[in-house]
């Protein structure tokens, strides 16, 4: 059973596809006035603005207080879903980009869909309350199965699961995730013939039947308009003949389903034949006709058939679509191929799949024992993490490997596969860091991240490299009577590049994390990591768990400072793109942290999500030079945008689902103490 969950309606984000009702009259994007009580479906959410689509296909944008859920009983479920995603996403062991971007069929408007799996924490799996077997973000772009559900799905050859595991664009791969990838062939069996091939064939048969039914319903509406029938019984008889339905009861049920669909779409006041007849007689026949066939479903089904054929012939799925097949699928996707032609292609391909199935060399059954072994491994690992949270000596020995002659591993974590900016010379950075660490003797380095303009998405050719580290100071600096170790700051030009290096002791970092300091959060949770250690990854995990509403004060203060600097420069007749971009970046990062519970530093990503169209032009200006200026006419419109951002930052704090203060202070304290004790006891 699930734990009871209550949350105010206004604070629950509504995912795509949610059915809502307008509370007040609202103007649509085309100026049409939609009356209170109109049904609509959520299509997108940007900050606090929902984009809705009415049954008639019209679009409008509303605020949260202008709509209510059509089914109020779903509120607790939606709130639980949003809460579960925030609580469990740190347990994700594997994630990959799926869908059209993985297939090579994406267009400019295609979403980046991410799928993967997480492992339920030991406490969540061992307690009385059920742990969710799937989590997803409100936008629906990210979804993760609990590992047990993924295993069951994989063992029966589920197409979505297998394509997720074979997807080439990885977002997260932890050590457990790597084991999963290495063992993914345990799912390969002849079940694939059913989950890929037979499933696609059955769906094409449904499309064929739906085309016949839709044509029959269109003819029925025309006959009703002509006044040739006026009772439900007559309509059912006509429908049975036109749709080739042999049983009268089935035709009656088909007619009921049609009326129910029209009612659900808001086109009829009630699901009755009388309401349908009145609407037709009122001249609404065209509006009531079945919607056109969606080609997107057919193109994906044809792709599944090709992937099934690939499984049967090569033992591997077809993820990236071959170049010779892409035009065919894209034409179908864009509605340029008649559905009848698509059905012909599917029928011919199904014959080939059946022929290949007879000689296929896939195992008859998946490897159940290997799947069971992997599940036990995951459960044992989560139990070990919960019951023995202190890092083991072997793990710490690998983490604390730096002595008088440190050997740095300059590489990106596997869960951030995107390359470093092209202007970053890793060799030069490595030599610089080795020099700095050697100068500090016994300092133990846990983490180094690249922040600043490179992490914000707008570096210019003359931008410096902001290298921000976390270290553990020597015991003498901690145990003495002094105030403790001071941050290390060093600014110099090294091999022709300006290096801005700073490092804070572990205890200082933790203290700042507990205060909601955005600099420390971005240092550990940013996208560009240069030096990583096992102990550093543990700190990174704890930093993500420490997110709270306290980050508001950091980003509000930082934003206010950026605005003052911008206004001071403007008073002197100077308007720099850099100052504006920093103001945008700070405010948007704060808003996103409060609403989404994650740190995102790239201003271009944030601007797109929160509809700030002027930011792209600023980025282009800034990338030309560090101190590139704007004309007054270019700069003035941004003042109003900054005022809006200030209000939105305040509103984000009120709407945030983050706790008021960090809830893991004890875990952070224990981590610092145990790490220091291990080093004092000679664990180097």
- What does pTM read for this prediction? 0.56
Average pLDDT over residues 303-330: 91
Res. 603: pLDDT tops 50: yes
Res. 404: pLDDT tops 80: no
Lowest mean pLDDT among 8-12, 185-189, 524-528: 8-12
- Cβ contact 404:442 at 8 Å: yes
Res. 618: pLDDT tops 50: yes
Average pLDDT over residues 633-656: 81
Q: What is the pLDDT of residues 138-161, one digit of tens each?
A: 666 889 999 999 999 999 999 999
Confidence band (pLDDT; 50, 70, 90) for 480? low
DSSP characters for 215-236? HHHHHHHHHHHTTS--SHHHHH
- Cβ contact 82:595 at 8 Å: no
Burial class (CB in 10 A: 0-12, 13-18, 19+), 70: middle
Residue 666 to residues 97, 122, 214, 520, 546, Cα–Cα distance (Å): 36, 18, 63, 18, 11
- The residues, any chain, with a CB within 8 Å of residue 584's CB and separated by 6 or more, are 603, 606, 607, 612, 615, 618, 641, 642, 645
Q: DSSP 3-state assignment of 427?
A: helix
Q: Which of 527, 524, 523, 520 is nearest to 412 (CA)?
A: 527
- Specify the pLDDT at position 399: 35
Res. 575: pLDDT tops 80: no
The two beta strands, 26-27 and 49-53, are unpaired
DSSP class of residue 10?
G
Of residues 390 and 361, which shows the higher confidence score?
361
Confidence band (pLDDT; 50, 70, 90) for 413? very low
Average pLDDT over residues 384-393: 61
Residue with tokens 């605020």: 63
Confidence band (pLDDT; 50, 70, 90) for 4? low
Res. 514: pLDDT tops 90: yes
Given CA atoms 376, 379, 383, 384 in this order, what sign does their dihedral have? positive
Taking the C-alpha atoms of residue 354 and residue 347, their distance in angstroms, rounded to an integer, is 11
Average pLDDT over residues 378-406: 54
Average pLDDT over residues 454-462: 82
| Mean per-residue pLDDT over the chain, rounded | 81
Phi first, then psi: give them for residue 158, nearest 5 degrees. Answer: -55, 130
Res. 409: pLDDT tops 80: no
Lowest mean pLDDT among 285-294, 305-314, 448-457: 285-294
The two beta strands, 92-98 and 113-118, are antiparallel
- Specify the pLDDT at position 150: 96
Average pLDDT over residues 189-207: 91
Range with the largest mean pLDDT of 196-205, 225-234, 623-632, 649-658 = 196-205
Res. 370: pLDDT tops 50: yes
Res. 398: pLDDT tops 50: no
Q: Which of 29, 24, 23 is nearest to 43 (CA)?
A: 29
Report the 10 Å Cβ neighbour count for 33: 10
DSSP class of residue 11?
G
- The residues, any chain, with a CB within 8 Å of residue 81's CB and separated by 6 or more, are 15, 132, 135, 136, 138
- Specify the pLDDT at position 365: 94
Average pLDDT over residues 344-354: 91
Taking the C-alpha atoms of residue 354 and residue 16, their distance in angstroms, rounded to an integer, is 38
Average pLDDT over residues 440-454: 81
Phi first, then psi: give them for residue 424, nearest 5 degrees. Answer: -95, 115
Helix intervals (H) in 442-533: 453-456, 475-479, 506-514, 518-525
- The residues, any chain, with a CB within 8 Å of residue 328's CB and separated by 6 or more, are 302, 337, 345
Average pLDDT over residues 98-115: 84
- Specify the pLDDT at position 412: 34
Q: What is the pLDDT of residues 250-278, one digit of tens each?
A: 778 878 888 888 887 778 888 888 888 88
Res. 617: pLDDT tops 50: yes
The helix (H) or strand (E) run that includes residue 657 is none
Q: DSSP 3-state assignment of 410?
A: strand
Longest dimension (CA), the chain: 100
Range with the largest mean pLDDT of 106-120, 340-354, 627-641 = 340-354
Of residues 310 and 479, which shows the higher confidence score?
310
Strands (E), 99-241: 113-118, 134-136, 142-146, 170-173
Given CA atoms 314, 318, 324, 325 in this order, what sign does their dihedral have? positive
Res. 395: pLDDT tops 60: no
- Of the chain, the percentage scoring pLDDT greater than 70 comes to 86
Res. 45: pLDDT tops 80: no
DSSP characters for 361-401? -S-SS--HHHHHHHHHHHHHHHHHHHH--SPPHHHHHHH--
DSSP class of residue 9?
G
Strand order in the sheet with 19-22: 59-63, 49-53, 39-46, 19-22, 67-69
Res. 16: pLDDT tops 70: yes
Average pLDDT over residues 12-24: 80
The helix (H) or strand (E) run that includes residue 63 is strand 59-63
Lowest mean pLDDT among 118-127, 330-339, 349-358, 583-592: 118-127
Q: Which of 593, 579, 569 is nearest to 642 (CA)?
A: 579
Confidence band (pLDDT; 50, 70, 90) for 10? low
């Amino acid at each position: 059973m699930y734990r009871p969950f209550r949350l105010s309606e206004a604070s629950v984000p509504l995912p795509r596809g949610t059915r809502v009702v307008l509370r007040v009259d609202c103007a649509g994007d085309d100026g049409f006035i939609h009356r209170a009580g109109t049904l609509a479906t959520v299509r997108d959410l940007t900050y606090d603005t929902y984009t809705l689509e009415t049954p008639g296909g019209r679009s409008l944008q509303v605020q949260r207080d202008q709509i209510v859920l059509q089914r109020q009983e779903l509120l607790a479920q939606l709130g639980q879903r949003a809460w579960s995603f925030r609580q469990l996403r740190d347990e994700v062991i594997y994630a990959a980009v799926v869908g059209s971007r993985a297939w090579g069929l994406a267009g400019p408007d295609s979403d980046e869909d991410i799928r993967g799996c997480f492992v339920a924490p030991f406490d969540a799996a061992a307690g009385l309350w059920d742990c969710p077997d799937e989590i997803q973000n409100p936008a629906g772009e990210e979804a993760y199965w609990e590992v047990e559900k993924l295993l069951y799905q994989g063992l029966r050859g589920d197409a979505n699961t297998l394509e997720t595991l074979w997807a080439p664009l990885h977002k997260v791969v932890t050590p457990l995730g790597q084991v999963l990838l290495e063992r993914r062939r345990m799912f390969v069996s002849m079940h694939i013939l059913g989950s890929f091939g037979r499933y696609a064939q059955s769906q094409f048969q449904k499309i064929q039947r739906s085309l016949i039914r839709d044509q029959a319903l269109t003819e029925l509406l025309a006959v009703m308009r002509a006044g040739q029938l006026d009772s439900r019984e007559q309509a059912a008889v006509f429908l049975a003949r036109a749709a080739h339905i042999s049983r009268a009861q089935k035709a009656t049920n088909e007619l009921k389903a049609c009326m129910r669909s029209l009612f659900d779409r808001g086109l009829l006041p009630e699901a009755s034949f009388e309401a349908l007849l009145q609407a037709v007689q009122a001249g609404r026949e065209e509006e009531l006709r079945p919607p056109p066939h969606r080609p997107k479903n057919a193109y994906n089904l044809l792709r599944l058939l090709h992937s099934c054929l690939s499984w049967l012939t090569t033992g591997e799925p077809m993820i990236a679509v071959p170049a010779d097949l892409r035009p065919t699928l894209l034409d179908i996707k864009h509605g340029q191929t008649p559905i009848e032609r698509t059905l012909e292609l599917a029928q011919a391909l199904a014959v080939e799949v059946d022929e290949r199935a007879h000689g296929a060399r896939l195992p008859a059954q998946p490897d159940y024992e290997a799947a069971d072994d992997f599940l036990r491994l995951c459960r044992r690992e989560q139990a070990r993490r919960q019951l023995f949270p202190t890092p083991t000596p072997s793990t710490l020995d690998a983490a604390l490997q730096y002595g008088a002659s440190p050997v740095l591993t300059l590489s990106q974590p596997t869960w951030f596969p995107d390359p470093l900016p092209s202007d970053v010379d890793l060799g030069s950075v490595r030599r610089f860091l080795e020099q700095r660490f050697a100068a500090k003797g016994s300092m133990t380095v846990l983490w180094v991240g690249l922040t600043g303009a490179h992490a914000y998405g707008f570096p210019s050719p003359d931008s410096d490299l902001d290298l921000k580290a976390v270290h553990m100071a020597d015991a003498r600096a901690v145990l003495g009577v002094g105030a403790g170790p001071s941050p290390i700051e060093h600014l110099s030009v090294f091999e022709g590049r300006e290096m801005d290096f700073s490092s804070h002791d572990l205890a200082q970092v933790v203290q700042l994390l507990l205060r909601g300091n955005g600099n420390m959060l971005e240092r550990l949770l940013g996208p560009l990591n240069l030096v990583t250690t096992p102990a550093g990854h543990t700190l990174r995990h704890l930093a993500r768990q420490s997110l709270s509403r306290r980050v508001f004060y950091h980003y509000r203060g930082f934003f206010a400072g950026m605005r003052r600097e911008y206004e001071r420069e403007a008073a002197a007749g100077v308007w720099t793109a850099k100052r504006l971009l920093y103001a945008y970046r700070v405010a948007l990062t704060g808003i996103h942290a409060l609403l989404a519970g994650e740190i995102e530093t790239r201003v271009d990503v944030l601007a797109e999500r929160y509809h700030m169209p002027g930011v792209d032009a600023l980025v282009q200006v800034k990338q030309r030079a560090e101190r590139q200026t704007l004309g007054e006419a270019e700069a003035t419109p941004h003042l109003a945008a900054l005022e809006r951002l200030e209000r939105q930052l305040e509103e984000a704090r009120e709407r945030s689902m983050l706790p008021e203060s960090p809830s893991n202070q004890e875990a952070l304290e224990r981590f610092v103490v145990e790490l220091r004790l291990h080093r004092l006891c000679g664990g180097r």
